[in-house]
Structure 1
Amino acid sequence: MDTNVVRLKFVFLLFFPCLWTPHAAKWVYVPSARISSTASGDSLNPGDTLNSSNYIVSAKRRFALGFFHRRIDSTTNKSYLAIAEIADQSRPFNLFVWFGSGSNAILNNSAMFTLDGKGTMKIVQEDGDPTVLYSPPKPPKSAVATLLDSGNFILKELHLNGTMKRVLWQSFDYPSDILLPRMKLGVSRKTGKTWSLTSWSTELIPDPGPFSLEWNPKGYQLIIRRRGEVYWSSGALMGGKVFKNISPNVTSMYDFVIVSNEDEEYFYFSNRNQSLVSEWLLSPMGQLKDLKGEDIARADNCDGYNTNGGCQTWKQPMCRHQGDKFDLRSGYLVAGDFSPPYNSSHGISDCRAICWNNCSCVAFTSLFDNNTGCQFWTRNYLLPNVGKKNWIWIGISIAIAVTLLIILLCILCYLQRRKVVIEGNNEADENELIDLGTSEGSNINDILIDGKKGHDLRVFSYAHIAAATHNFSLEYILGEGGFGPVYMGNLPTGQNVAVKRLSKNSRQGIHEFKNELILISKLQHMNLVKLLGCCIHEEERMLIYEYMPNKSLDYFLFDQNRSKLLDWKKRFNIIEGIIQGLIYLHKYSRLRVIHRDLKASNILLDESMNPKISDFGMAKMFKQNELGANTNRIVGTYGYMSPEYAMEGLFSIKSDVYSYGVLMLEIVSGRRNNSFYHTNHVLNLIGYAWDLWQKDEGIQLIDPKISDSCVKNQVLRCIHVSLLCVDDSATDRPTMSDVLFMLTNESLPLPLPKKPTFSIGRKAIKENIFDKESEAYSLNGLSISEMQAR
């Protein structure tokens, strides 16, 4: 017998789980592609299709239908046809109430959902048979599929005058694990069809799980079954208002309706507060919960013996007794001394039931990382008997407790130290990251251990970088500014890099160097430039970045000839990519980051012209609950600064929004923000755009080089959103999440912009700016702003 042992992070030993996994962890989805709605409003007409880049929205914008990735699948090519609730602009898709493709994922983003001329609705894939949602026995003369504000997607036959004749098919007849108001639970006597909820296999796997929620018309009650066994009952509905086993605090929120006739028997609920849309979720562990309210039922607390809260009894194994329960433990079990693993269709609830019904089973755990499959251990192979060796286990327990206490104290000390580091302007961070704070510098040999130094950054030797740049040859200079030159380098691996070399005479540059090294090492996103490492040698300080073959946005955008290579499709892709990068900085990175120097020269372009935000020397990072700050050292680029920052030193994520508004106007117009300054006329790009907008002549702002390729309504929408971004009031500016939602939802009405008074008379604030950009270079794509202190 194999005597090796396996360390189990979580082993379930006689434990009755009563855990609630937050619903949000399950319902985290992202659109399967950049979304630009090309479908018509809330409906599909015969011949219309949905693919991975468009979707339809209900009339009052409560629900959307389209193809979506689950977040855990975001790195794969799988997507699902689904109906999503639109919660708000910052989190437009946070709950998915119906899956048209069921648990079958669509591969390669190649699927199309279509309604053909014969009234057939189906999902068509490049590889694989079509999934038919509905095919009428006789083609209707006229049909249309509409997404309603109730969340119901219906296919209806129309009269000749366009009014509805009858409903041919509806998504409410095919519920998953979500029950919406007015969705039926019951049975059709005419067709024999039942309406019931079915839980997922696990919180992450949409396969049918063990639990179902049904309506029992004979008892006028809701029941929850597990694999056919009744685990919980609501008790009869009394007076049409109250269920015996559901808290009155819960039932007071709803109106309950029972329909019983010769055709059908069913139950549904509606909200007494009509402005609220509740969703009931049946979890993989058997909990029924209103996602906007309280627990409705806890079938996961039912063990077959108790009758508390509506639990039902059922026949139990002879070896189990009332009071027996599972207990959560972590420990060692003998490898190989467990029963064969069960298939991946089993969730943890199935593992618990199987172990409970097997008298030799004393422990179980999931087999796979996604909580599917089972492993079981028998009594003969459990760890040594606790009763015979209590003193051993007591000693072990004490040792573990002391160890955990020491670890906890270490963690607390570390957190306290980290707090001091952050509050002390990152001085300790600077010391930790290769003693950048000393003017004497550090020899690379003193810190090079395994080629890396924290945050997955590589520390390059000076000789290595000198060789890559041909000893910093003038021929390899890509650009030069106030911080120093930028060189192209070629590593022995064949990889091209950009080397940003700090000028020895720039004291301010040292500060930016430290800031960028510490900050950007914490950031990872496809729309942020990647910092590969650094090099410190005596007084030399260098940052090594991935090389951008297409240099920077300003290199193309403001050049008479090169700008022709940026058609509208490429420009809009750049617009969206910058938004995604800023959303990550403002919302999803470990620390909230405010860039403070967003401009065209700091947007690099890769080989496919995808944008990457660069130059974090002036950026500031905060905890996620911190919104902004005040500074007496104003840095940035003239013309991109928000008024509250330039005038008062106040900056926040809305400062970046302002800069982005200016940048988007530049992308649309192909002109620099300051290109409108004249001797007797100080109107800048913002003011020029506002004047055209007021005259309803916004089309004149569009760069003539994209007039043939652009989508006029889309460009005008970009101008409109830009003017919202440069609002004088930071509070009234949208967030970057709002900006993305407004640009990708063309049917969404936009608020009217207000006149940006900051667009005229820049001379009035000039004396309040301590640092300003004198000149910028961006030949490689690594821009360097020359900053002069005043």
Structure 2
Amino acid sequence: MPLSTSSTLLCSIVIIYIHLLQFLTPTTPQSPDFRYNCSSNGNSTTTNITSAYRANLNSLLSSLSSNNQTTIINNHGFYTSSLGDYPNTVNLISLCRGDIDPENCQSCVKKSTAKIVEVCPQEMEAVIWFDVCMLRYSNRFIFGIMEIHPTSIGFLRRNVSDVDEFYKRLGTLLSGLRSRAASGGSDRKFAADSAVSDLNTIYALVQCTPDLEELDCSECLEYVASAVPNCCYGREGIKIFTPSCNLRVEPYRFFAVDPQLAPPPVLDEPSVKGNKSRSDRTIIIIVVAVVIAVMLGVTIWSFFRNIKKPKEIPETVQEISAETIVFDFGTIRDATSNFSDENKLGQGGFGVVYKGKLSSGQLVAVKRLSRNSGQGDIEFKNEVVLVAKLQHRNLVRLLGYCLEGSERLLVYEFVPNGSLDHFIFDPIRRVVLDWDRRHKIIGGIARGLLYLHEDSRLRIVHRDLKASNILLDAEMNPKISDFGMARLFALDQTQSNTSRIVGTYGYMAPEYAFRGQVSVKSDVFSFGVLVLEIISGLKNNSFGHDEDNIESLLSHAWKNWNEGTSSNLVDPILLTSDSSRTETMRCIQIGLLCVQENVAERPTMASVVLMLNSLSLTTLPPPSHPAFVLMQTSSPGSDTNSGRLRSRRSNYVQESADDASITSPYPR
């Protein structure tokens, strides 16, 4: 037998022996180690601490370390405080693990207040994690905001015996814990439980800071859970800490028994003293020895009989480094009832989207790429790699993917209200969208694009922003979806060129459709079209159809803006008050600014977000002539701008029959 095989077998025996001995001898927990980061915003440099800030920080830390147990009990181990005026305001959060008693909580918090200033003496932002408590502070507002960076990861070097079985059980366990923790109240978002895997039991806990909304807590825990396979593949013990949530997995019970849970079976210590106690202990030791001998024999027999070859990973998967779950095809097939028509949510040029329900009860949306779709492995990998690295409440979350044979499946969070176009262009369902909801949708889309363009770890141009790619959750919050056409930019890159055009008529910027020039301003143009569609309830690319008057929504909006009759553009079902009328007119002006033909004159999404929060029209610049204004024709076939424009379009792009995205199977 090779040396490495012998070592692995010996380690397995030792681990089994240690686990069995846990039932015979009590263990004393070791002093918890700690991890820290001196800039909880993930920056490489920080502003040095000022004397005023230091005084406020010392005051808060002193108050926190001297808090009595009554305060800790009343707040369930969660503490927030703020002191000082900007820019020397100190915002502080402290959180103890949900199963820790007040005495140990207070002890850990006191230790963290001393340690954090020792390891981060000059920074105005810091976070420190012990096993049972966390402390962070910053000069910026941090309350109720979900933050996943920085992320601290630790793991045991021991591997599980059956990786597939381990992750199957762990995935189900963490999914249930995430749901329970996220649904917790404003004083406690914590859950812990166990699950049996192979010969071992998996113990896990998850926790969020209680100031998070349920959705934010769920998103944070989903992020840390999705990081497990990549960071700690096959490891028995895992610890992942972020400023807003944490996760821990161990092969032994490390948390106190939750009174709401039925404790897993354990072997009780003998309670009878004297000879009977010694006799019982002797019997237990003999049983343990026999069990070890039997398991050793089984292990050796299994090793020589069933040597498993490592699974070959498809080339496409090897190139995908995203922190996502790889789903088994059978799991997705069962979740969607074998992709039944009853579960079909929609269909486009890429294929069909199905509603599914995982064994854990979680609802998902499964995007099944059609075999004859133009969206092939390149677009599939593009979407997995990009979306998995994006975390924002206005972007749809990618939960995982499946590559099996010719199947290409993407598994997303289920967004119950479907896409925006099913509401805004429907004469009945559009009534649901009053002005407040429409304004909220516009603002959410703007924040999502701003994140893609400037605030994420990547700079991404979506290239296919349209009403059907905006999904609405249960509270009608918008989520940008479908990143198969997205293009990744370097952080300092402003423009790129492509010879293949992808997108949808009516939403493409002219410099992109005609010259293949891609930039963040391409998305800004699409956003402007979308804003005008949301306000009017009309489609830009099907506004006028009679042969004698070919007019787009953009030309209609521009004409009414110049004539001072912009109210003609507003959906008649919006009975606006004076205050909402001002917001509506401001959004029309913002939409026209975004669709200006001159690329340089279009605002950035950062400016758009600021303009949406502006309180008057006087602060906005006047818009110039929009692009793609189709002029009235005197007769069919006359050589007008519209005729030339449509002819030029046909030389560059191909439009699908169902107005789906224009895709290209070639690299971009």
Q: What is the TM-score with the length of structure 1 in the denominator?
A: 0.45
Q: Over residues 195-238 of structure 1, what are the superposed CA-to-partner deviations in whole Å (9 max), with x where a residue is unaligned?
A: xxxx66xx7659xxxxxxxxxxxxxxxxxxxxxxxxxxxxxxxx
Matched, 1:716 2:585: yes
- The one-letter code matched in structure 2 to 1:693 is W
- The one-letter code matched in structure 2 to 1:703 is D
The CA RMSD over aligned residues, in Å, is 4.3
What's 2:551 paired with?
683
Matched, 1:774 2:642: no
Contact 1:597 1:636 in 2 (8 A): yes
Equivalent runs, 1:664-743 vs 2, <5 Å? 664-678=531-545, 679-708=547-576, 711-743=580-612
- The one-letter code matched in structure 2 to 1:685 is L
Any idea what SS the aligned residue of 2:644 has? Answer: helix
1:666–1:348 Cα change, 3 Å? same
- The one-letter code matched in structure 1 to 2:452 is L
Any idea what SS the aligned residue of 1:759 has? Answer: coil
1:658–1:474 Cα change, 3 Å? same
Q: Over residues 14-70 of structure 1, what are the superposed CA-to-partner deviations in whole Å (9 max), with x where a residue is unaligned?
A: xxxxxx9633999xxxxxxxxxxxxxxxxxxxxxxxxxxxxxxxxxxxxxxxxxxxx
Q: Over residues 348-380 of structure 1, what are the superposed CA-to-partner deviations in whole Å (9 max), with x where a residue is unaligned?
A: 489989xxxxxxxxxxxxx975479xxxxxxxx
- The one-letter code matched in structure 2 to 1:456 is E
What's 2:459 paired with?
592
- Correspondence for 2:338 among 465, 471, 482: 471
Hey, what's the Cα distance between the residues in 1 that align with 2:595 and 2:388?
Answer: 30
Cα distance, 1:344 vs. partner?
A: 4.3
- The one-letter code matched in structure 1 to 2:623 is P
- Correspondence for 1:752 among 622, 625, 632: 622
What's 1:655 paired with?
522
Any idea what SS the aligned residue of 1:625 has? Answer: coil
What's 2:484 paired with?
617
Hey, what's the Cα distance between the residues in 2 that align with 1:480 and 1:444?
Answer: 37
Hey, what's the Cα distance between the residues in 2 that align with 1:534 and 1:351?
Answer: 40
Equivalent runs, 1:231-630 vs 2, <5 Å? 344=113, 348=117, 369-370=135-136, 446-447=312-313, 454-630=321-497
- The one-letter code matched in structure 2 to 1:692 is N
Hey, what's the Cα distance between the residues in 1 that align with 2:112 and 2:375?
Answer: 62
Hey, what's the Cα distance between the residues in 1 that align with 2:643 and 2:506?
Answer: 11
Hey, what's the Cα distance between the residues in 1 that align with 2:532 and 2:116?
Answer: 52
Any idea what SS the aligned residue of 1:745 has? Answer: coil
Contact 2:544 2:550 in 1 (8 A): yes
State the percentage of identical aligned residues. Answer: 44
Cα distance, 1:523 vs. partner?
A: 0.8
Matched, 1:764 2:644: yes
1:532–1:25 Cα change, 3 Å? farther
Q: Over residues 528-584 of structure 1, what are the superposed CA-to-partner deviations in whole Å (9 max), with x where a residue is unaligned?
A: 011111111111111111111111000010011000111111111100000110010
Contact 1:595 1:618 in 2 (8 A): yes
1:500–1:763 Cα change, 3 Å? farther
- The one-letter code matched in structure 1 to 2:462 is H
- The one-letter code matched in structure 2 to 1:578 is I
Equivalent runs, 1:631-646 vs 2, <5 Å? 631-646=498-513
Which 10-residue stretch deviates more, 620-629 or 566-575?
620-629
1:593–1:786 Cα change, 3 Å? closer
Cα distance, 1:623 vs. partner?
A: 1.9
- The one-letter code matched in structure 2 to 1:725 is C
1:755–1:714 Cα change, 3 Å? same
What's 2:661 paired with?
785
1:558–1:9 Cα change, 3 Å? closer
Contact 2:524 2:605 in 1 (8 A): yes
Contact 1:725 1:734 in 2 (8 A): yes
Any idea what SS the aligned residue of 1:758 has? Answer: coil
Structure holding more helix per residue: 2
- The one-letter code matched in structure 2 to 1:503 is S
1:762–1:501 Cα change, 3 Å? farther
Equivalent runs, 1:27-38 vs 2, <5 Å? none
Hey, what's the Cα distance between the residues in 2 that align with 1:508 and 1:461?
Answer: 21
What's 1:23 paired with?
47
What's 1:223 paired with?
none
Which 10-residue stretch deviates more, 513-522 or 591-600?
513-522
Q: What is the TM-score with the length of structure 2 in the denominator?
A: 0.53
Hey, what's the Cα distance between the residues in 2 that align with 1:520 and 1:623?
Answer: 16
Hey, what's the Cα distance between the residues in 2 that align with 1:350 and 1:455?
Answer: 32
1:8–1:504 Cα change, 3 Å? closer
Cα distance, 1:682 vs. partner?
A: 2.0
Any idea what SS the aligned residue of 1:463 has? Answer: helix
Any idea what SS the aligned residue of 1:683 has? Answer: coil
Hey, what's the Cα distance between the residues in 2 that align with 1:711 and 1:601?
Answer: 26
Equivalent runs, 1:141-156 vs 2, <5 Å? none
1:547–1:762 Cα change, 3 Å? farther
Hey, what's the Cα distance between the residues in 2 that align with 1:776 and 1:24?
Answer: 57
Q: Over residues 366-414 of structure 1, what are the superposed CA-to-partner deviations in whole Å (9 max), with x where a residue is unaligned?
A: x975479xxxxxxxxxxxxxxxxxxxxxxxxxxxxxxxxxxxxxxxxxx
Any idea what SS the aligned residue of 1:731 has? Answer: helix
Hey, what's the Cα distance between the residues in 2 that align with 1:495 and 1:351?
Answer: 41
Contact 1:721 1:739 in 2 (8 A): yes
Hey, what's the Cα distance between the residues in 1 that align with 2:115 and 2:338?
Answer: 62
Any idea what SS the aligned residue of 1:517 has? Answer: helix
Hey, what's the Cα distance between the residues in 1 that align with 2:487 and 2:599?
Answer: 18
Q: Over residues 214-270 of structure 1, what are the superposed CA-to-partner deviations in whole Å (9 max), with x where a residue is unaligned?
A: xxxxxxxxxxxxxxxxxxxxxxxxxxxxxxxxxxxxxxxxxxxxxxxxxxxxxxxxx
Cα distance, 1:505 vs. partner?
A: 1.8
Any idea what SS the aligned residue of 2:628 has? Answer: helix
Which 10-residue stretch deviates more, 505-514 or 732-741?
505-514
Any idea what SS the aligned residue of 2:505 has? Answer: coil
- The one-letter code matched in structure 2 to 1:466 is R
1:776–1:786 Cα change, 3 Å? farther
Hey, what's the Cα distance between the residues in 2 that align with 1:586 and 1:614?
Answer: 15
Q: Over residues 179-207 of structure 1, what are the superposed CA-to-partner deviations in whole Å (9 max), with x where a residue is unaligned?
A: xxxxxxxxxxxxxxxxxxxx66xx7659x
Any idea what SS the aligned residue of 2:656 has? Answer: strand
Cα distance, 1:585 vs. partner?
A: 0.2
Contact 2:398 2:412 in 1 (8 A): yes
- The one-letter code matched in structure 1 to 2:564 is D
Cα distance, 1:454 vs. partner?
A: 4.6
Any idea what SS the aligned residue of 2:402 has? Answer: strand
Hey, what's the Cα distance between the residues in 1 that align with 2:408 and 2:542?
Answer: 35
Cα distance, 1:345 vs. partner?
A: 9.0
Cα distance, 1:774 vs. partner?
A: 2.1
Contact 1:636 1:773 in 2 (8 A): no
Hey, what's the Cα distance between the residues in 2 that align with 1:635 and 1:786?
Answer: 5
Structure holding more strand per residue: 1
